[in-house]
Amino acid sequence: MAKILSWVWRLLRSSGLALAIVAALATYVAAFAWLPSTEAGVATTGLGMALGIDQPFVAPPFLVLVALTFASTLACTLDRTRRTLALWRGLPAGGALELPERPDADPRVFLAGHGFRGAGAVLFRNRLALWGGWAFHAGLLLLIAGVAVQRAYHDGGAFELTVDETARLDAPRVVFGRAPGPLADVDPPALAVTLLDFDPYLHERGFDRDRRSLLRVAAGDRVLVEGTVDRVHGLDAGAVTLFQALPHGLALEIELADTGRRGFRLHHDDDTHASGAFHAPDGTPARLSLASTRSLSDPLGSGGLRVFLEQRGAKIELQPGGAFAFGATSATLVSVRRWSGFTYGRSPAMPAVFFGFLFVLGGAALLACPAGVAQLAAPGHGIAARVYVSRGRDLMIAEWTDLPSGLRSEIRGRRPES
Partner 1 sequence: MESVAFWAGATLYAAATAAFFAWLAFRRPALARFALLAALAALVPHGLALALRWAEVGHGPFSTRYEVLSANAFLLVVVYVVAVRIAPALRGLGALVLPAAFLLLGLSVDSFALKSEVPIIFKSYWLYLHIGFAKLFGATTILAAACAAGYLAKARERRFAASLPSPARLDLYAHQLLLLAFLCLGVMIAAGSLWAHQSWGRYWAWDPIETSSLATWIVFGLILHLRVLHGWTGARMAYLTFVALALTVVTVYVVTLAAPTIHTFYLVGTPP
Q: Binding of partner 1 at residue 191 (CB under 8 A)?
A: no
Q: Binding of partner 1 at residue 255 (CB under 8 A)?
A: no
**Which one, of 169, 178, 183, 164, lies nearest residue 348 by Cα?**
183
Within positions 103 to 142, which residues make up the interface with partner 1, using CB under 8 A? 133
Which one of 5, 182, 207, 222 is in contact with partner 1 (CB under 8 A)? Answer: 207
Which one of 271, 398, 401, 418 is in contact with partner 1 (CB under 8 A)? Answer: 398
Q: Binding of partner 1 at residue 72 (CB under 8 A)?
A: no
Q: How far apart are CA 309 and CA 280, in angstroms?
A: 11
Handedness of CA 64, 148, 81, 372 (dihedral sign): positive
Q: Binding of partner 1 at residue 77 (CB under 8 A)?
A: no
Where on the phi/psi map is residue 173: left (φ > 0), alpha (ψ -120 to 50), or beta?
Answer: left
Answer for the pair 21, 62: CB distance below 8 angstroms, yes or no: no
DSSP 49-90: HHHT-SSTTTSHHHHHHHHHHHHHHHHHHHHHHHHHHHHHTT
Q: How far apart are CA 59 and CA 56, in angstroms?
A: 5
Could you tell me which residues are beta bridge partners of residue 90? none
Q: Binding of partner 1 at residue 34 (CB under 8 A)?
A: yes
Q: Binding of partner 1 at residue 403 (CB under 8 A)?
A: no
Nearest-10 crossing angle of helices 350-367, 132-153: 160
Which range in 114-122, 197-205, 279-287, 296-304 contacts partner 1 by CB under 8 A? 197-205
Nearer to partner 1, 140 or 318 (CB): 140
Shortest Cβ distance from residue 179 to partner 1 (Å)?
10
Shortest Cβ distance from residue 204 to partner 1 (Å)?
7
Nearer to partner 1, 155 or 165 (CB): 155
Q: Sketch the per residue contact string, 364 through 393, with partner 1: x for CB under 8 A, - otherwise.
A: xx-xx-x--------------------xx-
Q: Binding of partner 1 at residue 282 (CB under 8 A)?
A: no
User: What is the layout of strands, in order, in the sheet containing 97-100?
Assistant: 97-100, 383-389, 372-376, 122-125
Q: How far apart are CA 224 and CA 237, in angstroms?
A: 6
Radius of gyration (Cα) for the chain, nearest Å? 34
Q: Sketch the per residue contact string, 39 through 68, with partner 1: x for CB under 8 A, - otherwise.
A: x-----------------x-----------
Nearer to partner 1, 256 or 358 (CB): 358
Residue 257: CA atoms inside 13 Å, Cβ hemisphere, count? 11
Q: Binding of partner 1 at residue 1 (CB under 8 A)?
A: no
Residues near partner 1 (CB under 8 A), total: 52
Q: Binding of partner 1 at residue 260 (CB under 8 A)?
A: no
Within positions 304 to 363, which residues make up the interface with partner 1, using CB under 8 A? 343-345, 347, 350, 353-354, 357, 360-361
Q: Binding of partner 1 at residue 231 (CB under 8 A)?
A: yes
Could you tell me which residues are beta bridge partners of residue 260? 256
Shortest Cβ distance from residue 17 to partner 1 (Å)?
11
- Cβ-proximal residues to 294 (8 Å cutoff; 6+ apart), any chain: 272, 300, 301, 302, 303
Nearer to partner 1, 12 or 307 (CB): 12
Within positions 139 to 158, which residues make up the interface with partner 1, using CB under 8 A? 156
Phi, psi of 102 (to 5 degrees): -135, 135
Nearer to partner 1, 150 or 311 (CB): 150
CA 21-27-33 angle, to 5 degrees, is 135
Q: Binding of partner 1 at residue 37 (CB under 8 A)?
A: yes
Which one of 2, 4, 5, 33 is in contact with partner 1 (CB under 8 A)? Answer: 33
Q: How far apart are CA 417 and CA 156, in angstroms?
A: 58
Secondary structure (H, E, C), 210-259: EEEEEEEEEECCEEEEEEEEECCCCEEECCEEEEEEEEEEEEEEEEECCC
Residues making contact with partner 1 (CB under 8 A): 15, 18-19, 22-23, 25-26, 29-30, 32-34, 36-37, 39, 57, 133, 156, 202, 204-208, 210, 230-234, 241, 243, 343-345, 347, 350, 353-354, 357, 360-361, 364-365, 367-368, 370, 391-392, 394-395, 398
